[in-house]
Amino acid sequence: MAIFAAIQSVPAVFVVGLAASLPVVAVVAIIFTVLSVLPSCNAGRPWWRKPDLATDIGYLVVMPGLMYYARIALLMVGMLVLYGVTSQDAAWALLEHGCGPLSALPFAAQVAIYLVASEIWLYATHRWLHDLRLWRFHAVHHSSEHLEWLGSFRVHPVDFMLHFLMGDSLLLLLGISPGVLVWLVPFSIGMSTLTHANLNWDFGPFRTVLASPVFHRWHHTGVDRGGERNFASTFPIIDVIFGTYYMPKGELPSDYGVTERDVPYDFGGQLMHPFRAQASSPAAIPAHDTGD
Ligand SMILES: [Zn+2]
Ligand SMILES: [Zn+2]
């Protein structure tokens, strides 16, 4: 089984996963360093002087390798259940040559279907993660008090699996080509980092077409403001349709983070937090004023 073969090379996979992600992160870091000369959404320190920079770097170093295994495990289980495949070679061959009804469609059609279907999945699971029982996993993502582009990487592994990997795995198993996901990597990383960046961009007349920094930064505010709204990842129109769109005119979001004082600031503490924290709901606890 693939999972057993993969576990034999744990250190190698972690090094390769990190090495593969570093060039992309380096390019993104340069772009947001240059953009930091533009008017920001909130006054304060530049991203490289954030007090919890080490926490976000922890996610950058560990998550690529960890999620590599999670992705393989989800795909292998799906292959076994849906197609009866038990070997790594057969699984990869099936993925490569198309393993579901969508695989016969042209590449462009697969890209369009992936964008729409994954957005619906992301919206639904994001609302689910704000539910009482799962909030303690998602609270880790909302714990950034000095919200910056790096905060997009601060996602608990369980949150990451439910929110991102399960949807991607399902679409791959239905026939979407792995090439579609690879082709969209720059767009996906670009959107997730941009929407967390400390910029005052709201995209003007296109504010309901594409998620902007102001749109998603409202989502990181207290529940008395945008904290229980703006769940979309890329296309805010889905929030408009479901009545969760929030973009007050003439205002910019501020005051990020969660009020639960027991969400640790360090990377290791955050990984363990959901397993030892008391269940708490974002609806019961608005974000506190952290300044900066
Ligand atoms: Zn959220
Ligand atoms: Zn976010």
Q: How far is the CA of 218 from the centre of ligand 1 (A)?
A: 10
Q: How far is the CA of 201 from the centre of ligand 1 (A)?
A: 20
Q: How far is the CA of 138 from the centre of ligand 2 (A)?
A: 10
Q: How far is the CA of 129 from the centre of ligand 1 (A)?
A: 7
Question: Does pTM top 0.85 for this prediction?
Answer: yes
Q: Is the pLDDT of residue 3 over 70?
A: no
Q: Is the pLDDT of residue 50 over 80?
A: yes
Q: How far is the CA of 206 from the centre of ligand 1 (A)?
A: 22
Interatomic CA distance for residues 13 and 19, integer angstroms: 10
Q: How far is the CA of 152 from the centre of ligand 2 (A)?
A: 6
pLDDT band at 286 (very low <50, low <70, confident <90, very high): very low
Q: How far is the CA of 231 from the centre of ligand 1 (A)?
A: 7
Predicted confidence (pLDDT) per residue in 169-211, tens digit: 999 889 898 889 888 988 999 999 999 999 999 999 999 999 9
Q: Among the bound ligands, name the one nearest to the CA of residue 159.
A: 1
- Work out the mean pLDDT of the chain and round it to a whole number: 86
Q: What DSSP assignment string belongs to the chain? A: -HHHHHHTTHHHHHHHHHHHHHHHHHHHHHHHHHHTTSPPSS-S--GGG-TTHHHHHHHHHHHHHHHHHHHHHHHHHHHHHHH---SHHHHHHHHHH--SGGGGS-HHHHHHHHHHHHHHHHHHHHHHHTSTTTHHHHTTGGG-SS--GGGGG---HHHHIIIIIHHHHHHHHTT--HHHHHHTHHHHHHHHHHHHSS-----GGGTTTS--HHHHHHHTS-TTTTTTS---SS-THHHHHTT-----TT------S-S-TTS-SSHHHHHHHHHHSPP--TTTSPPP----
Q: Is the pLDDT of residue 225 over 60?
A: yes
Q: Among the bound ligands, name the one nearest to the CA of residue 125.
A: 1
Residue with tokens 């363990």: 272
* Mean pLDDT comparison of 100-104, 269-273, 275-279, 285-289, highest-scoring range: 269-273
Residue-level pLDDT at 83: 83
**Mean pLDDT computed over 94-110:** 85
Residue-level pLDDT at 9: 57
